């Protein structure tokens, strides 16, 4: 992809599971200021997280460059998934910002979740499912 990833590694923030240098062993891809790992608690097979090397709280605090690199990595990973798994029929791309929105790790990250026909009885409403009463409309 682009640039030397180690250039963007910043000091770890105590207690952040996405900051320790040990996480570098889990990296499956990178692009400049961001990297991807497999989600430890995947919503579906192939669920990935795109994370900035710099510790920053949520999507809204990403720099323009981090957002651009994240977009590039999302597209690259989507294409790779499609080349390796022809059974993928769709995707959810999601970001939780703040505890009330479901964010449990306060280090910005973007979910790329491959979806398969029939993996849920009625997928209509998609990400609206974060507020169950609003999923069906």
Which residues are tagged catalytic?
Answer: 109
* Planar angle of CA 108, 89, 109, nearest 5 degrees: 5
- The number of distinct structural domains making up the chain is 1
Percent of the chain with pLDDT over 90: 72
Residue ranges making up the domain that contains 126? 5-134
pLDDT tens profile 11-55: 778 889 999 877 989 999 999 999 999 999 999 999 999 999 999
Tokens representing 51 are 């994370």
The closest alpha carbon to 44, from 102, 109, 112, belongs to 112
Q: Any idea what the CATH number is for the domain that residue 19 is in?
A: 3.30.428.10
65-100 residue pLDDT tens: 999 999 999 999 999 999 999 999 999 999 999 999
CA end-to-end span of the chain: 41
Distance CA 13, CA 112 (A): 24
């Amino acid at each position: 992809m682009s640039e030397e990833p180690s250039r963007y590694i910043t000091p770890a923030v105590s207690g952040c599971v996405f900051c320790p240098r040990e996480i570098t062993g889990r990296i499956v891809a990178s692009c400049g200021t961001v990297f991807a790992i497999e989600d430890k608690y995947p919503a579906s097979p192939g669920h990935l997280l795109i994370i900035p090397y710099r510790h920053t709280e949520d999507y809204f605090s990403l720099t323009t460059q981090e957002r651009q690199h994240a977009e590039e990595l999302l597209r690259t990973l989507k294409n790779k998934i499609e080349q390796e798994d022809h059974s993928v029929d769709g995707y959810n791309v999601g970001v939780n910002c703040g505890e009330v929105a479901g964010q449990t790790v306060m280090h910005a990250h973007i979910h790329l979740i491959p979806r398969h026909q029939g993996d849920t009885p009625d997928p209509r409403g998609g990400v609206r499912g974060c507020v169950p009463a609003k999923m069906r409309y």
